[in-house]
Amino acid sequence: MQMSPENQQVLEDCCPSIELWFAQSELQQLVVKAARGAGYCWSDAEEIGWAAAWLSKFGLPGGDFMLSLMQSNDLQAPRPATRCWKGNNHPLCPLRCGLALMDFAQLPEGLGASSLVIESVMGLPCLLPFAARTARQIQHPLQIQWEEQSLFLNQDAQPSLEINQVSMEFGKTVDVRITRSNSNMVSIETKNPQYCVGVSKQILEQLEAFAHQTLVPASDLSRLRAGGHDDPTS
Amino acid sequence: MKPIEQTVPARFYRSPSQVMRLTRMGCSHPTRLSFLRQLLRRLKKENWSFDRPVWQINRQGVGHAVYRAQGPERCYSLVAFAHDLPEEMRSDRVIATAWDATFTLFDGTPSTADIERLERNVPLQEAGRISAKELSLSRANRSVRLFEYVVKELAQGRQPERSRLEQTGYLMRTTAVYGTGKFGAADRSTLVNRPEMQAPFQAEMLSVWLTRAFTVDLVEHLAAEQGGVQAVKLDPTLRRLLGVGNSTGLGMAPFLVRHPVLIHHWFAAREEALARVRSQPKLAPATLDQFCEALREAQENAVQWQSEHPLQVAKLTELREGLRQLQAFVHEEWDTAQIYPWDVLWQWGERKLPIEAQEALLALLLEPHGELVDDLGDQMAIDEEVTFKVDGRQSIGELRKHLHSHFAWALGTDYQQPEQCARFWYVSEEKLEPRLGERHCEAGAEREQPLDIGRQVAELCDLLKEWSERIPVAHLLLLRPEFRSIVRRVQLSAHYPFAEIQDNLISAEMLPIDLLRSKLAFFGATRFDPRSDRWVRISLFQGEPYPDELNHADVS
């Protein structure tokens, strides 16, 4: 994207580094459009936008992770079953797993009384926001474990401070264990939300390129039908 | 937050199927619950103070000014930039790139460095970038004829003619007012703990109200520059006649569809207010006097309210005639000694008055009942985040029941018929302007925005026919994730009955200005004057006090 000198000045004004600062809701709207432009249905795009905002609110690069999701192929939906969800020889999609986790949370195939393992999930960070919403939905804290790492999510959909330390890569496939936690979340410090989030110029350009696919090119007819017959001299 | 609870017997309420139709929404009038009225009441009650710490405007009317509103805990500053706009660049369309004046509402008092930063960005509007220190971004153009006339008259030591001020009603009209979360501005979530920002659109309303003061200061400044010692200031009585105009198009229409739970709270609060008034068993003489005074003012306003658009001309005729009938009934036939006298009046209005006048009557009934209804203003905001969910446990049978209970309006339509899917909502490449296209003769329908709620509901209804009653919704969404949004809306409808506009928004017959008027009435807009079926001018704060008058004014 070629920036005008004016916009370059704007960028320098607002962003001393290469990052542009967004309100959380503004990033959410951009990611919704980008996801739709990348080919997701509007329902999924709304959820992806929301998830990007949640991650960013808690200090993770939500725009980056969701962009990676948009660029991924061959990710599968899970087959919900009691205690363990598997795929079919392909990595599972974190969006599909996350949405199913919420939807099945209070069904036998979901969290049940104890824990659930979701095998071979790609893009773990994209699953976390939905796990957080699941905790809020069932009004019970959850523990998320993968490899040697773990964090907690409380019933207000807030993560524990471990979210600052855990290592998460989108491209890695992991088995995730989600457990109804016995920990008293009151005693576990949660991460404070932030409502102004930085997005790098490179990520922004890619999101905007996807988002552009939702726009309709202008024409004389469309201009006319936009209703603009107003007389500006009156 | 829980849905607004109904506190009076059910017979005093109107149903969502009556209220949420476009023909009625397109007759909406501002009420005392409108957002600008809520703002002024709060500012007055909390004894806010106002000053203008910066006025650096030159002889040509170019420069910047700062207007500050100081409340009990925080202050906000409107930073206004006045420009020299070439005539040929003046356009109210969103695709314009320059304006007579541009504004931002700053959170606090801006430093010199802040103003320098804003000066590089605010005049660019969408092409610029503001920061989390700002709460709004807006621009305005002059009403050229009135602005220049008023400057000339004041410069020559004369007051402008009252009739000319009444005819236009404003010196400048805003052409866009962007709120929180736009172009780098602060996120709405950062304001949730501020009582003065609880009601919807309070930052935007404050910005427009201070903009109104700026427009008058600017004409007086230019008059003084031109006329020297003979120049006079605008008479305060005449000044009151001026609001801030607003010229708006389709841009604000999608909001009503995209925020169903919020919209429910707006309408539910207003309907609760009406029901409370209707359910009053007796009428106090003082309340009756206030009602009659409000009716007189409404009749005066209806006479001054001018429009040349055929749709609005017909509505104005109905309004004037309806108010005349209402006045005759009130003074000649209405037995105020009956039990539930306000309900008697309301029911008469529903039988005898056209919709335009019925909705005016609603506003009039609320007017003398501030103590009874003003608390409902606190219930017109909602944290939408907590309602962004789907109940996966719900059975298909239960979902189907909600669908048939709350979306019957959507199910009787054949959306395959060309006239029932004639339009599509889209976003144009040109400055991301929302537009409405003709599906059968215009390109771009494959990039349609999902505002076709009725059609989506009908598709869901068809889909559910293939599913067994007892299966949980979770299974449906696993296989058909594209239905998640509409399933959520159907589930929400059980708790938020005013969440949906109960009309086909892609029909050939749909009038977008009905959507615009409904939303603008909640803002508090008056003098609705359509320029087409999708473009409208209105006035905000007309007749209301200015900052320097607020402490002595009646803003009930």
Helix axis angle, B310-332 to B285-304, nearest 10°: 150
Among A204, A230, A231, pick the best mutation site for testing chain B contact (most B Cβ within 10 A).
A230
Same domain, B197 and B120: yes
Question: How many C-beta neighbours within 10 Å does residue A219 have?
Answer: 16
DSSP state of B548: G
CB contact under 8 A, B187 and A43: no
**pLDDT tens, B178-207?**
999 999 999 998 998 999 999 999 999 999
Q: Which residue of A has its CA nearest to B512?
A: A227
Q: Does residue B508 belong to any structural domain of this protein? A: no
Q: Which residue of A has its CA nearest to B445?
A: A216
Angstrom distances, CA of residue A142 to CA of A157, A191, B475: 10, 15, 23
Q: Which residue of B has its CA nearest to A107?
A: B393
Q: Does residue B282 belong to any structural domain of this protein? A: yes
**Distance (Å, rounded) from C-alpha A212 to C-alpha B277?**
50
**Domain finish residue from B356, B382, B408:** B382
Which chain A residues are Cβ-neighbours of B427 within 8 angstroms? Answer: 214-216
Instruction: Identify the residue whose tokens are 């209301």.
Output: B544
CB contact under 8 A, B184 and A26: yes
Q: How many contacts, defined by CB atoms under 8 Å, are there between A and B?
A: 196
Pick the range with the lowest mean pLDDT from A157-166, A197-206, B14-23, B154-163: A157-166
User: A154 CA to chain B: closest CA distance, Å?
Assistant: 15
Among A216, A219, A220, A223, pick the best mutation site for testing chain B contact (most B Cβ within 10 A).
A216
User: A103 CA to chain B: closest CA distance, Å?
Assistant: 4
Same domain, B366 and B405: no
User: B281 CA to chain A: closest CA distance, Å?
Assistant: 43
At residue B341, the pLDDT reads: 98
**Distance (Å, rounded) from C-alpha A77 to C-alpha A85?**
10
Same domain, B398 and B325: no
Domain hosting B445: range is 384-493
Same domain, B237 and B326: no
At residue A228, the pLDDT reads: 53
CB contact under 8 A, A226 and B189: no
H-helix segments, A71-155:
94-104, 124-138
Contact B473, B522 (CB under 8 A): no
Supply the DSSP string of A187-204, one letter for each residue.
Answer: GS-BPPP-SEEEEEHHHH
CB contact under 8 A, A232 and B90: yes
Nearest beta carbon to residue B531 from set A217, A218, A229: A229
Residue A71 backbone dihedrals phi, psi, to 5 degrees: -95, 5
At residue A227, the pLDDT reads: 60
**Distance (Å, rounded) from C-alpha B519 to C-alpha B28?**
9
**pLDDT tens, B368-423?**
999 999 999 999 999 898 899 999 999 999 999 999 999 999 999 999 999 999 99
Nearest beta carbon to residue A23 from set B117, B145, B184: B184
Q: Does residue B412 belong to any structural domain of this protein? A: yes
Nearest beta carbon to residue B435 from set A7, A102, A222: A222
H-helix segments, B83-133:
112-121
Coil vs helix vs strand at A212: helix
**Distance (Å, rounded) from C-alpha B158 to C-alpha B242?**
17
**Distance (Å, rounded) from C-alpha A140 to C-alpha A152?**
11
Q: Which of B162, B140, B166 is nearest to B153 (CA)?
A: B162
E strand or H helix at B401: helix B396-406
User: A217 CA to chain B: closest CA distance, Å?
Assistant: 5
At residue B242, the pLDDT reads: 97
Same domain, B295 and B390: no
At residue A19, the pLDDT reads: 75
CB contact under 8 A, A14 and B131: yes
CB contact under 8 A, B392 and A232: no
Planar angle of CA B291, B297, B301, nearest 5 degrees: 140
At residue A186, the pLDDT reads: 59
Same domain, B180 and B285: no
Q: Does residue B460 belong to any structural domain of this protein? A: yes
**pLDDT tens, B69-98?**
999 999 999 999 999 888 887 877 767 888
Reported in sequence order, the residue ranges of chain A that DSSP labels E, i.e. its strands, are 19-23, 84-85, 115-122, 142-146, 149-153, 173-180, 196-200, 215-216
**pLDDT tens, B271-325?**
999 999 999 999 999 999 999 999 999 999 899 888 888 888 999 999 999 999 9
DSSP state of B74: -
Which chain B residues are Cβ-neighbours of A29 within 8 angstroms? Answer: 181
Q: Which residue of B has its CA nearest to A216?
A: B428
Same domain, B166 and B243: yes
CB contact under 8 A, B392 and A107: yes
CB contact under 8 A, A20 and B121: no
CB contact under 8 A, A80 and B131: no
CB contact under 8 A, A80 and B478: yes
At residue B1, the pLDDT reads: 45
CB contact under 8 A, B447 and A216: yes
User: A62 CA to chain B: closest CA distance, Å?
Assistant: 16
Average pLDDT over all residues of chain B: 94
Coil vs helix vs strand at B556: coil
A84-85 and A19-23 as β-strands: parallel, antiparallel, unpaired? unpaired
CB contact under 8 A, A214 and B190: no
What mean pLDDT comes out for the span B22-38?
97
**Domain finish residue from B382, B410, B443:** B382
Which of residues A74 and B236 earns the better pLDDT score?
B236
Q: Which of B7, B37, B76, B74 is nearest to B377 (CA)?
A: B37
At residue A223, the pLDDT reads: 77
Same domain, B377 and B414: no
What mean pLDDT comes out for the span B436-462?
96
At residue A184, the pLDDT reads: 66
Same domain, B165 and B194: yes
Which chain B residues are Cβ-neighbours of A4 within 8 angstroms? Answer: 127
CB contact under 8 A, A230 and B432: no
User: B152 CA to chain A: closest CA distance, Å?
Assistant: 17
Which chain A residues are Cβ-neighbours of B185 within 8 angstroms? Answer: 23
What mean pLDDT comes out for the span B40-68?
97
Pick the range with the lowest mean pLDDT from A9-23, A39-53, B140-154, B476-490: A9-23
At residue A4, the pLDDT reads: 40
**Distance (Å, rounded) from C-alpha B379 to C-alpha A1?**
44
Same domain, B138 and B275: no
Q: Does residue B504 belong to any structural domain of this protein? A: no
Type of residue found at B449: Q
CB contact under 8 A, B187 and A80: no
Q: Does residue B531 belong to any structural domain of this protein? A: no
Same domain, B216 and B327: no
- ipTM for the whole predicted complex goes beyond 0.85: yes
What is the residue extent of each domain of chain A? 5-212
Share of chain B above pLDDT 70, in %: 99
Which chain A residues are Cβ-neighbours of B120 within 8 angstroms? Answer: 9-10, 13
Q: How many domains does chain B have?
A: 3
**Distance (Å, rounded) from C-alpha A64 to C-alpha A31?**
10
**Domain finish residue from B477, B493, B509:** B493
Nearest beta carbon to residue A99 from set B141, B433, B481: B481
Nearest beta carbon to residue B428 from set A109, A218, A229: A218
Residue A90 C-alpha from the chain's centroid:
21
**Alpha-carbon torsion A69, B485, A28, A58, what sign?**
negative
Q: Which residue of A has its CA nearest to B432?
A: A215
Nearest beta carbon to residue A216 from set B187, B426, B484: B426
At residue B247, the pLDDT reads: 83
Q: Does residue B75 belong to any structural domain of this protein? A: yes
Per-residue confidence in pLDDT tens, chain A, 234 aa = 333 444 444 445 444 445 788 899 999 999 999 999 999 999 999 999 999 999 999 999 999 999 999 999 889 999 999 999 998 889 999 999 999 999 999 999 998 767 899 999 999 999 999 999 999 999 999 999 999 899 999 999 999 988 887 778 888 999 999 999 876 665 678 888 888 888 999 999 999 999 999 999 988 888 777 765 444 444
